[in-house]
Amino acid sequence: MTLEQKVGQITQADIRSVTPDDVRKYYLGSILNGGGAWPGMNMHGSVDDWLKLSDEYYRASMSTDMAVKVPVIWGTDAVHGHNNVYGATLFPHNIGLGAAHDPALMARIGHATAEQIRATGITWAFAPTLAVVQNPRWGRTYESYSSDPAEVRAYAEAMVAGLQGQLGSATSVLATAKHWLGDGGTFHGQNEGVTQTTEANLYRTHAAGYYGALAANVQTVMVSYSSFTDTATGRAWGKMHGNAYLNTDVLRGRLGFEGLVVSDWNGIGQVPGCTNWHCPQAINAGIDLAMVPDDWKKFIAWTIEDVQARRIPMSRIDEAAARIIAVKLRSGLFDRSPAAGPHPGAEVMSSPSVRELAREAVRKSLVLLKNDGALPLKRGRILVVGKGADSLPMQSGGWSLTWQGDNTKTSDFPNADSLLAALRKSLGSTNVDYSADGTGVDVSRYSGIVMVAAEKPYAETAGDIVFPASLRHSSRYPEDLAALDRVSGKGVPVVTLLFSGRPVAANDLMNRSDAFVAAFLPGTEGLGLADVLLAAPDGRAAYDFTGRLSFDWPAGDCLPQQGGYRFPRGYGLSLTRPARLGPLPESPPTMACPPESR
């Protein structure tokens, strides 16, 4: 291979910035569709549109003037099902799956997701996220399974095995252990911030998922935007994208990882002295494939120049290109076009079995935090209240059709049921009325009220609750408390569900509810919610609540310094084990929280 061909091979560009002919001309090794990028930029594109584009890129990569052609590989953020694709069944986000405490379920979800991805001609998933989140302020808390390293390790092994299956088979995709290392441990939960801890705790807590992923032969690792400061020595190692010690000596030398290391979106540009298109430090630190979504042409030119000027040894480029090609060989990509060869049919995007799997996952993800006898709801006339009750965007969260999960509406999610739709399917439309805010409703006409309090969708930094802001849900969403005030305390039982990407302070919501369910971000299968909320026709519980918190739940508006929490990790009631919660303290909203220790 020529230098140009090797540097092209270590370059990854976004489909919005690269054509199939560019892939051919510049020998590009990889492409991706970032959140909100679809074939032809059509959000409602068909599975066939994805297949056609995949085949165009693949054929272009196989028509270069190279002596031995090297196929391009396409990566996508399929983080709760194939969530960029219109009509796909979306599973609960990881925080809810963590509450299920069911690694075998993860393997099943991983396999189903891999089939969805292969049905579109793509062979690489940027999942699972293995963050072990320490502070719920982080906007990516919902991408984490648990604050318990042991659970994250078990889930990592299961999810990677589910996604990768038999490498090279028509239902296998490469998995990505991300984001290496310490993404969930930043101070104040600041996205892309600094993880201040000892090296020993970095390996004990934040690397736990990687031990599981490596045990399942994970083929790719994505580097974190965060930085690491060693509190034992005081050494500020700086940005992970420039950390040769952790990316090479530890990940390769000590842990024996043999796959490829990919940077995050323009992550190389965050290394001091670097730009999004020029960073010899990151390549020399052990990044094999550079995710340079837009400035990839400049990256190629600068990197060629770096090699010629000996700022990057040719041996490093050879090693990076060889690793990428080795992963492609193991994935079967050289054997046939993933779009033209055998692959699952479009039905796997939302087949009855996929929807049933997602529905089961929803049931298992729900955590009952309060039940003063209101559950299961009798099958009478129900009033549904709250802005999130008929909103698939809020029910699904970020990374759902678009990166932020915004600019979408419920009708953009066919093959799906909002909670309201699910209750109407279960009870009959005439038995279920809806009011977004509870204004002017005579609640005495109903046998029960279902209230949904919900965060608006977000992803990454947009989701941070920036210190010192309060963690109280109603401080950020007063409309939910107002709606609950209108319908509660009038002699009709109120069951409140919270759609959120993290544990939040909710004493005021719980005090106005006869039952309270942490539903996290359930995804498209609202029937899984109805299954557990409603009594069976014979009046008995159709399903029980089996979910248990995978994160501590705050008692007040701020992270407790003394470690006191309203509900500890592992907490969750069942219908056979109700518990009267009693009134919770409702202090005036906190305007600013005291300094935190993490």
Q: Which residues are catalytic?
A: 264, 460
- Rank residues 186 and 337 by Cβ distance to ligand GLC and give the closer one: 186
Q: Which one, of 29, 37, 35, lies nearest residue 11 by Cα?
A: 29
CB nearer to ligand GLC: give 178 or 387: 178
C-alpha 98/C-alpha 521 separation (Å) is 12
Site string for ligand GLC, 149-188 (x = CB under 6 A): -----------------------------x----------
CB of 184 to ligand GLC, least distance (A): 12
CB 240 within 8 A of CB 197: no
Crossing angle of the two packed helices 149-164 and 103-119, in degrees rounded to 10 = 40
Q: Are 569 and 503 in contact (CB under 8 A)?
A: no
With beta carbons less than 8 A apart as the criterion, state whether 174 and 219 touch.
Answer: yes
What is the dihedral sign for C-alpha 177, 15, 143, 246? positive
CB of 264 to ligand GLC, least distance (A): 5
Does residue number 192 form part of the binding site for ligand GLC (CB under 6 A)? no
Using alpha carbons, select from 393, 400, 349 the residue that is nearest to residue 43: 400
State in angstroms the smallest separation of the CB of 225 from ligand GLC: 6
Question: Minimum Å distance from CB 77 to ligand GLC?
Answer: 5
By the rule CB under 6 A, 264 interacts with ligand GLC:
yes
Pick 264 or 531: Cβ nearer ligand GLC? 264
The secondary structure of 168-236 as a DSSP string is TSTT--B-EEEEETTGGGBGGG-TT-EEEE-HHHIIIIITHHHHHHHHTT--EEEE-S-EEEETTT--E
Query: Residue for token digits 């919610």?
Result: 529
Contact flag: residue 565 with ligand GLC (CB under 6 A): no
Q: Does 34 bind ligand GLC (CB under 6 A)?
A: yes
**Options 57, 74, 86, 126; binder of ligand GLC; rule CB under 6 A:** 126
Whether the Cβ atoms of residue 353 and residue 525 lie closer than 8 Å to each other: no
Q: Find how far residue 364's CA is from the centre of its chain.
A: 18
Q: How many residues bind ligand GLC (CB under 6 A)?
A: 7
* 34 vs 386 by CB, closer to ligand GLC: 34
Sheet holding 194-197, edge to edge: 194-197, 227-230, 236-239
Cβ of 372: how many Cβ atoms within 10 Å?
Answer: 15
Among 124, 265, 277, 551, binds ligand GLC (CB under 6 A): 265
Which CB, 264 or 306, lies closer to ligand GLC? 264
Look up residue 149 and give its two tokens.
């390293």
Binding flags for ligand GLC, 206-245, as an x/- string (CB under 6 A): ----------------------------------------
| C-beta of residue 267 within 8 angstroms of C-beta of residue 225 | yes
Q: Cβ distance 506 to 516 under 8 Å?
A: yes
Q: 159 or 170, CB closer to ligand GLC?
A: 159
* Shortest Å distance, C-beta 178 to ligand GLC: 6
Q: What is d(CA 333, CA 431) in angstroms, rounded to the nearest whole number?
A: 53
Told to check if 35 binds ligand GLC by CB under 6 A, we report yes
Closest CA to 366 of 147, 575, 532, 576: 532
Closer Cβ to ligand GLC, 74 or 265, answer by number: 265
67 CA to centre of own chain:
40
Say whether residue 464 binds ligand GLC (CB under 6 A).
no
Which C-beta is closer to ligand GLC: that of 43 or that of 535? Answer: 43
Q: How far is CA 145 from CA 153, 178, 194, 453, 549, in A?
A: 10, 13, 21, 22, 10
Return the number of the residue (35 or 209) whose C-beta is nearest ligand GLC: 35
The answer for residues whose C-beta is within 8 angstroms of residue 548's C-beta and 6 or more apart is: 99, 101, 367, 570, 571, 572
Minimal distance in Å, beta carbon 224 to ligand GLC?
A: 8
**Positions 66 through 105 that interact with ligand GLC (CB under 6 A):** 77
Is residue 193 a contact residue for ligand GLC (CB under 6 A)?
A: no
Query: Which residue's CB is nearer to ligand GLC, number 391 or number 404?
Result: 404
Total residue length of the chain: 598
Angle value at C-alpha 357, between 356 and 363, nearest 5 degrees: 90
Give me the numbers of helices (H) and strands (E) for the chain, helices first please. Answer: 19, 19
The minimum distance between CB 499 and ligand GLC, in angstroms, equals: 22
Residue 35 CB, shortest distance to ligand GLC, in Å, is 6
- Nearest approach, Cβ of 495 to ligand GLC (angstroms)? 34
Q: How far is the CB of 265 from ligand GLC (least distance, A)?
A: 4
Instruction: Note the residues at the interface with ligand GLC (CB under 6 A).
Output: 34-35, 77, 126, 178, 264-265
